Structure 1
Amino acid sequence: MLKLKTTISVVLILIAATTFAQVERVTENQAGISKRLQHEIDMTKDPALGYVPKGRLVEAYQVRSQRLKANTVNSLLSWTERGPNSDAVGASNGNTRPGNGKTSGRVRAIWEDLGDATGKTVWVGGIDGGLWKTNDITVNPATWTPINDFFGNLAVASICQDPSDVNIMYFGTGEKAINADAVRGAGIWRSTDHGVTWSVMAGTANFWNVSKVVCDASGNLYVGCNSISNTAGLQRFTKATNTWTNITPSGLDARVPDLELSSTGRFHVICGYYNTAAGSAGYRYTDNPATVSSGTWTSPATTFPTQYNVAIESNGNTLYALPSNSAWGVPTIYKSTNGGANWAATGATPAFTSGQAWYCMAVAVDPNNANNVIVGSLDCYKTTNGGTSWTKISEWVGTTGQYVHADQQIITWRNNNQVLFGCDGGVHYSANGGTTITDRNQGLRIKQFYAVANHPTSTNYFLAGAQDNGVHQLNNTTIGASVEVTGGDGAFVHIDQNQGQYQWGSYVYNQYRRSTNSGSTWASVNFSSSAGRFINPTDYDDVNNIMYCSGSANTFVRWSNPQSGSTFTSVSMTGLNSGTVSSVKVSPYTNHTVFFSGGGSGITPSLIKATAANATPVFTSIIGAGMTTASANISCIELGTNEQNIIVVYSNYGVSNVWVTSNGGTTWTAIDGNLPDMPVRWAMFYPGDNTKAIIATETGIWQTTLINGASTAWDPETGFPNVRTDMLQYRASDGLLSAATHGRGLFTTIIGAAPSCGTVNGLAASAITNTTATVSWTALGGALNYDVDYKLNSSGTWINAATATTSLSVALSGLTQGSLYDYRVRANCTGATGAYAQAQFTTTSPASCNAPAGLASSAITASSATVSWGAVSGAANYDVDYKLNSSGTWINAATATASTSVGLSGLTASSLYDWRVRANCTAIGLSSAYAQAQFTTTAVITCPGPLDVSTNGTAAGAATIPFNTDVKGTISPTGDNDYYKFVITTGGTATITLTTLPFDYDLKLYSSNGTSQLAISQAGGTTSETITRTYTAGTYYAHVYGYNGATSASLCYTLRVQLGTATQQEIPSVDNSKLTVKVFPNPVADKLTVYLTGDNTRKNLVMYNVNGKVMYSQTVTDMFTTLDVRKIPGGVYYLKLTDTDGNLLHSEKFVKQ
């Protein structure tokens, strides 16, 4: 019977292991983009409605504007924009860019101003970056000007202009993608002064998820809406009557992913998106768009698929359509040369979507030559022969080719051969129809940051995590460039506030990036690509060097060694209500106390205080009774001057967003006051003052000078942009506050006069022994308490000895004899922390306790070894540790053993191990230094061995085994039987043993007919089986089987026939040491190649199926033999190579796909 044996299990284990490597290349797929959208929906939706009511954001914008116009707001703070205004790729970033291109943020709308005949004036709209303009797109860098920061909140989706009056402009809002109904946009916006001022058009609040806006020659406006739930469909605004009309073609779906107005005046519309029923999806056109009604559209004679998503573009009567299939690819590009009446497939279609056609897909046609077309999704391709053939013209990653960032949202082609690309990384420009392409992203400051971290001592150094554009390193005094140190989505970031060389970024869920050299290089440390949240909340304990993270439902993740290791633990929590952690705050006041919030869609939110979070936590719910609206999301927890004063915020519409407590959570008060209904994503008390607060909202930074319950008065910061702001981070040493915006990059300010705290003096060390010392200092005026650390001079890691101690001395213990130590002390004052003062001392040396000598390793196997050493004079006992050479963590093997040898077990095969031993001289109370040595474990014996052949399920297919030799085999699958043949030449005694049993296996002995049982051994469990008897000359069979279905595909048994007085029939030996056999490809789909070298004699090649049936056989002598396996069914097969005498030379398994 066939054994389902495999050699890939080790590979799978290695793949699943935590990765330490250069940060890998990352781009998003449908699942990633959908989860990003869903993450935002869950954070901001109104729990009572189940969707995001973007219209309320317009109301919040108006409230903010009114307060600023009233001149009653006095900004507390003066803000500095930090950018970035451009970026470069860091050394460890897997997402390299050809030509060192630059990125900005996601651009979905591009419009070349009709008022500029040269085509140089260009408007762009970002999904989160707002509306921007340059007066000369041809220069590099272009000069970009933000038109209105608030538009960054509205998801500007499409822009157009009235050809009859270029001062009239429009843009539509809302996400077009699958789950976008929950982010409904904010209608259609119009400007009548050439884009200087804008206002929302009456009657458009119900126009969700705009895909495109178009103006005809008379100035009439056409709006395509792509909502799953809303039926706005295709809307026409008649300029002359100032009225709206729904002109969605009768009988077709109201989801409109694209529309096109040809230069001939013919108007084209696509209806159907994301698996619309075939009967409801379709393409229509009309020559009278200004008067067409739902029932008067024209259907084409032949068409193309329209159920999923289609992008369409025209040059006069020539049109191209890109219809997606259900796998979100575009298998065929279609073309019409008669204005859409008839459509036919083009000659070829490039594989350009990478499964993202639901989200990003664009096409542009040369207005001067309809045979020139560019399509884009992940990358861009161009045809110059109307689709007969295509050439790739851009690369989103790598070091060669032309750089265009991934995920094309829009491509435009002007009649001067100017081509513009709008993608998830900004704007790219070509002056010659795509032959050469360069970015225009410098100065287009629309980075969408989720998080920021301040460096503790480098004043202008920051890390920030950017949507779809990695983790950025900024180090400029004002607006400047950044370095994208890691790619993909950049999420939460941290910098150790005591050891600034340790820095962390993160990708989605629990996937992290670490730098241990102040951000110069980065490596991946990945725990899970699914546990936690898409943008996963974390907080770092700067004192104890522990990272706390969101995990799966009802858990948090504790990363106990983030500076150097990968020890992650999922810790069960009580009180999370089956939700996931939504925010984390490590207390700066009590060691190992951490605050968590939790929730999720349909889940009651929770707020929990965890003590002893580093070990076995104790959880206490501190949420207030009025704070438990199901589906509400707590996005931030911050503490004031102590753990009694806490502020938390909710990021939803339709809830009370800001709550405070002054008694540790016993009672809570909502302090929204006059705050508009909008998401609040972060908050903090004013440093040192629990009566003031600063919050990060969907319309920028707001502050209050007096927390006063329902009467709290909030004012927007006048010097801060009107843009979604995700995070605030404060640095007490100089009063710097940083703000991460989702569309305008990073801003900073200094909060008032920076508090100060002096440096302690009078450092001294006393009572020094070989293992202890006392360090002391003199009192500093204004100091509240002190922090004390120490370390070996040779170490780079400080050990905390005391935090916030009011004493002027600290006793140190557990020191190493005869060693130089550093220690440091700093003072903590009100609102400030002083610089460290540092000194040294040296511990004493013992009279004598020598390290062991004569270290030796013996009895080494794949999983065990014995280590030994010579006795040390005066030593009472010894301590022994060992570890993998690649590990930084020692494992204790023996403590205070009187022996001079120790056995080690449970080792890893083929691995280099370090081991060390020290002597304990108890009479003088000292231990020696460690003596250290190494050994390497042996390789694992091949399991199963070559004699456990695929045909040995019966005696007839058994292989002849040698005597006095271990034979390895497996019992798999359940019910497997293994037969082995041996021949006694001269009668006498022999013993059959079955050992190393993984489960309950038994042993039988049969006579030469293979069916007459002579003996049986059934010891039970994993006890070895033995059959000893006197044999007559003849043939015998040993039968191994699993009792009651026992089986293991990976663990081998050992069978041995040991001769006593009997003699053997010698199995002809074959010297095939020169023979090399390679079988490829494996797995194989069509033709399998057998490659033989080192022996050109005749051989027999036989193929067996899983049941031992011969599928193919032939005699081979050639170096290459090709087997056509196309007609055999998919599955597992075996090849057996023997010489002409039947002696086995080689056997190998392969998989037919």
Structure 2
Amino acid sequence: MRRWQWAIVGALTLGAAGSYYSPQQVSSLLTSVEAEEEDEEDEDRRDRPDLAMLQEFNRTRDPATGTVPRERLIAARARAEALLSQQAAQRAVAGSLASASWTEKGPSNVGGRVRAILIDPADATGNTVWVGSVGGGLWKSTNATSATPTWVSVDGFMANLAITSLVYDPTNPDIMYLGTGEGYYNADAIRGLGIWKSTDHGVTWTQLASTSPSTSQDFYRVQRLAVQPSTGYVFAATRTGLFRSKDKGATWTAVLQPSGIRMADVKISANGTIFVGAGIFQTGGIYRSTDNGDTWTNLNTLAGSGLPTTGYSRIELACAPSDASRVYAIVTTTADVLMNIYMSKDGGTTWGTIRKPGGNSFDFTSGQGWYALAIGVSPTSPNTLYVGGLDLWITTNADTPQSGNPNSGATWTQTSIWYNPKTNSDYVHADHHAVAWVPTSSGTATKAFFASDGGIAYSANANSTTPTYGQRNTGLNITQFYALALHPSDVDYFLAGAQDNGTQRYTKTGGQVTTEATGGDGAFCFIDQNEPQFQFTAYVYAQYRRSTNSGAAFTNLNLSSSAGQFINPTDYDSRSNTLYGGWTVDRFFRLPNATTAAASAVSNVLLATGAGMVTHVTVSPNNQDRLFVGTEPDFSATTPGPGHLYRVDNAASTTPTVTLLYTAPAGLSISSVAVETGNDAHLLMTISNYSATEAKVLETKEGTNTGSATVAAATWTKRQGDLPDMPVRWAVFDPTNNKRAMLATELGVWSTDDLTAASPVWKPSSTGLANVRVDMLRIRASDQQVVAATHGRGLFTSDILKDQPLPVELTSFTGQMTSQGVALRWKTASEKNSLRFEVERAAKDQSFQLLTKVAAAGTTSVAHTYAHTDATVGTGLYYYRLRQVDQDGKTSYSPVVTVDIKPSSAPLLTGLYPNPFEQNFTLELREPMRGDILTTLTDMQGRLVFSATTQSPSRVLPVTVPATVKPGNYVLTVRAQGQQATRRVIHR
């Protein structure tokens, strides 16, 4: 196989406001270098998190600050939760896009990147475990050692947190902390949201205000947390130093801040000695404190310590729980390969090296020591430890003398092989981040969990040199999808491209259990909508895979291994079988007859000089060979320019025509464009950057204007409305109502029912869907199902559009209590194929029931007014809605009208005689009534048998019952002036 090595190059500029990177610095930060040759199949199984990070940084950073201000999601989350609570309290309008409910589709058998594991100290079996993922939030299992554990998401918003560390307070195990923000990258790409705390044993979590990014920039990226076992002091290793809290996180003090050195790790030995690994893409060292962090010693500079003094970078530490004097350190070089594994037997004063796993010339980190590095010591044996990089290695004799050498001659065994079949007992996903042994009060520790880019693995005989591993990802739905494809008719068949987990294939027989269609990083994917036996997946850049047998097998279709984006924006035209995607700066590619063509048939087209790199490609649903192409600024330039949106006509011909439609403000990237079905002029465009001043959503109805490639031909209207400041990644129109739209955002799905409003109202459409980053929305034409590809929680589906009607423009719907009951009135400005309105009512906490049907006007552009009076209500809160039915049987719902009928403070009815009565009786009212008085009789089955509306100038009202009313027991109801009274009467 081939292993990749890459170096992070470029300079880091530190300013008063924290880490800042100019565009040219960020662009040059990440340069990949091939270490050795391997076959293409093995290449597909390796991911490039550094390049995915760079692409994400460019797409989302705020041009005004040069950073990615993820702390703004806190405000967005608060607004989303308030709106969802409001919708629930007001019985969210059925049919409104905000009422969308989502069903989780998994995959239930594919993990995602996990960096933190916490085993419940109160569960000696090791079954209760929390894991922190980078894109899927915090999860808990109470049967984690089971072959098919049950995982539960602890908090939906935490899917937006890059969780890097989980610890508990030994002085009070109900107190737990988690740290956020991956800081191993040498760019400010993924900020965290500080430190979060639980005081109820992990049930609920709250952000520590003292670590909020709005309060302190020191906690943007928390690498590691540790709690002093005797004092409960909390230590946080962050990009700006080591911080200590003596008051359970209320306040923090910097206790170790070597000049400009970033902290990578902090560990505490059994006797309370604190060790810190300092240096991320820089030379820092191992620091030690024996007085709770008051004073520190740099052990690398300590005379005779045996530690290196130059040429090293990231350091990962481990303290042996069973021996307070035993400490281990994995040290990488500035080239991110393994330098040495060091061991101290005297509490860190002197160190020796341990023989390297695989021999002195072998690098078990595979050149990515900056990213994937793990170490864990057995809680019962100081000589048994795991190290993890690309794979896992174990030694059980770490302290083995080496003849003629003061250093250890430990023997190592490779225990996992990432490229083996997943059914093998030695298979564990590549790229390891954490090892967590299950503590034991007696005997030898044998159980351990392992966190990697593929989720969680477990071994019940972890102390063996031939351990058996099992994946523990069942239901741990933290897959990070970039894109998805829908089968035109098979509602159970999907393709979805995932970071580091290939392109997953959903089928009816598999349900939420998927199979890997193609490996490596998965990206854009397509199923031909006319001939679904033709399917396409993507690896990185312009490297694609093609299936001609409905996804049973794929072959390579590599157009270029360097052109395009890392996750390359692509679209496919099922009418012409043409594949389009990003190429080099200012260009896009096209591959005609992609179902059969060779890769050599690809050609590329110039958009315009200065267009930038392609970020989005959409094939027009209305016109074959018409494209809409979005771009981002050229970030290699000293001063990045704007992104653009272009229309390309005759895109598959030898003479395509390029028209500029929009030039974005400097630094902004076009993330998507939605095209109205039947109308290429109507476009909805989205921006993926944070920005406090620029709109994320824009609309035009001039998408077909003629123009040139250099002068924008369309005018745009901002449709940001009240949408929070967060990246917007995808947009879709409601196919039956172009006033309505749904957005894939950094915080779930948001929608509006009226784009035409001067300031559109956006609401979260997230019932059942975590507040997670959503990268793509697709709508299946055959049944209108909406599918969301989330970057951290897999796929979700919604049927919100399945029952949408042909348009009826409802201008008003009101309800008012009168003496005759609740008077409902509604008006329409226009109707199309409208058959009837069904009036439905629900009492508080009850479901809606049909009251009556009112014939509609059919198709008309003339305003119509409708009315119905509900004479069967009592006191209390009532909800009314209209179910509009069109002539094709499709339906939709109106907004809900609420009517609160309050009981009278004085009785409406003060007398009734005679009772029993034969044909006549008399009512005595508390006072003369103004307006109508409604008197009804209903039988014991609730059927109305008599109704009379009268007026009375006095308190006395005689009532005559028709002879047709049969003798029996009845309920008498009297309504007047918005009040009512009931009595049970007997008719003889």
TM over 0.5: yes
Letter in 1 for 2:699: V
CA distance in 2, matches of 1:718, 1:398: 39
CA distance in 2, matches of 1:115, 1:44: 41
- Which of 608, 612, 628 matches 2:650? 612
CA contact (8 A) 1:283 1:300 kept: no
CA contact (8 A) 1:317 1:336 kept: yes
**What residue number does 2:695 align with?**
656
Letter in 2 for 1:687: P
C-alpha RMSD over aligned residues: 2.5
CA contact (8 A) 2:44 2:539 kept: no
In structure 2, relative to structure 1, the CA distance for the partners of 1:478 and 1:431 (3 Å cut) is: closer
CA contact (8 A) 2:287 2:296 kept: no
**What residue number does 1:939 align with?**
none
Letter in 2 for 1:643: D
CA distance in 2, matches of 1:464, 1:472: 5
Is 1:740 the counterpart of 2:740? The answer is no
In structure 2, relative to structure 1, the CA distance for the partners of 1:639 and 1:576 (3 Å cut) is: farther
- Which of 237, 257, 261 matches 1:224? 237
Q: CA deviation at 1:149?
A: 2.2
Q: CA deviation at 1:76?
A: 2.9
Q: CA deviation at 1:274?
A: 0.8
Q: CA deviation at 1:269?
A: 0.6
**What residue number does 2:867 align with?**
none
Q: Secondary structure at the match of 1:223?
A: strand
**What residue number does 1:411 align with?**
435
**What residue number does 2:668 align with?**
632
CA contact (8 A) 1:167 1:192 kept: yes
CA contact (8 A) 2:234 2:248 kept: no
Q: CA deviation at 1:520?
A: 0.5
Q: Secondary structure at the match of 1:676?
A: coil
Output aligned runs, 1:248-647, within 5 Å.
248=256, 251=258, 253-276=260-283, 281-289=284-292, 292-293=294-295, 300-301=302-303, 302-305=305-308, 307-315=312-320, 316-350=324-358, 351-386=363-398, 388-399=410-421, 402-416=426-440, 417=445, 418-434=447-463, 435-476=467-508, 480-566=512-598, 567-575=600-608, 577-600=610-633, 601=635, 602-624=640-662, 628-641=664-677, 642-647=679-684
Moved more, 398-407 or 316-325: 398-407
CA contact (8 A) 2:570 2:579 kept: yes
CA offsets, 1:536-558, max 9 Å, x none?
01110110110011100111110
In structure 2, relative to structure 1, the CA distance for the partners of 1:287 and 1:830 (3 Å cut) is: farther
Q: Secondary structure at the match of 2:76?
A: helix
Output aligned runs, 1:834-913, within 5 Å.
none
- Which of 58, 68, 77 matches 1:42? 58
CA distance in 1, matches of 2:802, 2:561: 44
Q: CA deviation at 1:565?
A: 1.8
CA distance in 2, matches of 1:454, 1:743: 19
**What residue number does 2:848 align with?**
none
Letter in 2 for 1:314: C
CA distance in 2, matches of 1:22, 1:734: 39
Q: CA deviation at 1:728?
A: 0.6
CA distance in 2, matches of 1:658, 1:472: 31
CA distance in 1, matches of 2:248, 2:471: 41
Output aligned runs, 1:1046-1125, within 5 Å.
none
CA offsets, 1:125-166, max 9 Å, x none?
111011000012221111100011221211011111111222
Is 1:669 the counterpart of 2:717? The answer is yes
In structure 2, relative to structure 1, the CA distance for the partners of 1:194 and 1:563 (3 Å cut) is: same
CA distance in 2, matches of 1:331, 1:298: 14
In structure 2, relative to structure 1, the CA distance for the partners of 1:248 and 1:136 (3 Å cut) is: same
CA contact (8 A) 1:22 1:522 kept: no
CA distance in 2, matches of 1:490, 1:43: 19
CA offsets, 1:835-867, max 9 Å, x none?
xxxxxxxxxxxxxxxxxxxxxxxxxxxxxxxxx
Q: TM-score under structure 1 normalisation? A: 0.60
In structure 2, relative to structure 1, the CA distance for the partners of 1:831 and 1:494 (3 Å cut) is: farther
CA contact (8 A) 1:361 1:376 kept: yes
Moved more, 112-121 or 208-217: 112-121
In structure 2, relative to structure 1, the CA distance for the partners of 1:831 and 1:293 (3 Å cut) is: farther
In structure 2, relative to structure 1, the CA distance for the partners of 1:503 and 1:298 (3 Å cut) is: closer
Q: Secondary structure at the match of 1:158?
A: strand
Q: CA deviation at 1:497?
A: 0.2
Letter in 2 for 1:607: L
CA distance in 2, matches of 1:126, 1:241: 22
Task: Say which one has the larger Rg.
Answer: 1
Is 1:51 the counterpart of 2:90? The answer is no
CA distance in 1, matches of 2:297, 2:254: 11
Q: CA deviation at 1:343?
A: 0.7
Moved more, 107-116 or 612-621: 612-621
**What residue number does 2:731 align with?**
683
In structure 2, relative to structure 1, the CA distance for the partners of 1:300 and 1:110 (3 Å cut) is: farther
CA contact (8 A) 1:283 1:299 kept: no
Q: Secondary structure at the match of 1:616?
A: coil
Q: CA deviation at 1:409?
A: 0.8
Letter in 1 for 2:541: Y
Letter in 1 for 2:666: A
- Which of 753, 756, 773 matches 1:705? 753
CA distance in 1, matches of 2:460, 2:160: 32
Q: Secondary structure at the match of 2:731?
A: strand
In structure 2, relative to structure 1, the CA distance for the partners of 1:292 and 1:520 (3 Å cut) is: same
CA distance in 1, matches of 2:222, 2:494: 36
Is 1:78 the counterpart of 2:101? The answer is yes
In structure 2, relative to structure 1, the CA distance for the partners of 1:477 and 1:202 (3 Å cut) is: farther
Moved more, 168-177 or 614-623: 614-623
**What residue number does 2:870 align with?**
none
CA contact (8 A) 1:587 1:643 kept: yes
CA distance in 1, matches of 2:300, 2:315: 18
Q: Secondary structure at the match of 2:456?
A: strand
CA distance in 1, matches of 2:395, 2:762: 57
CA distance in 2, matches of 1:561, 1:262: 64
Q: CA deviation at 1:219?
A: 2.0
Letter in 1 for 2:100: L
In structure 2, relative to structure 1, the CA distance for the partners of 1:585 and 1:241 (3 Å cut) is: closer
Q: CA deviation at 1:631?
A: 2.0
CA contact (8 A) 1:597 1:606 kept: yes
**What residue number does 1:68 align with?**
84
Q: CA deviation at 1:830?
A: 11
Q: Secondary structure at the match of 1:60?
A: helix
Q: CA deviation at 1:426?
A: 0.3
CA distance in 2, matches of 1:542, 1:830: 28
CA distance in 2, matches of 1:133, 1:347: 37
Q: CA deviation at 1:254?
A: 2.9
In structure 2, relative to structure 1, the CA distance for the partners of 1:190 and 1:109 (3 Å cut) is: same
CA offsets, 1:247-283, max 9 Å, x none?
115x45430111111112110011112133xxxx221
CA contact (8 A) 1:450 1:466 kept: yes
**What residue number does 1:26 align with?**
44
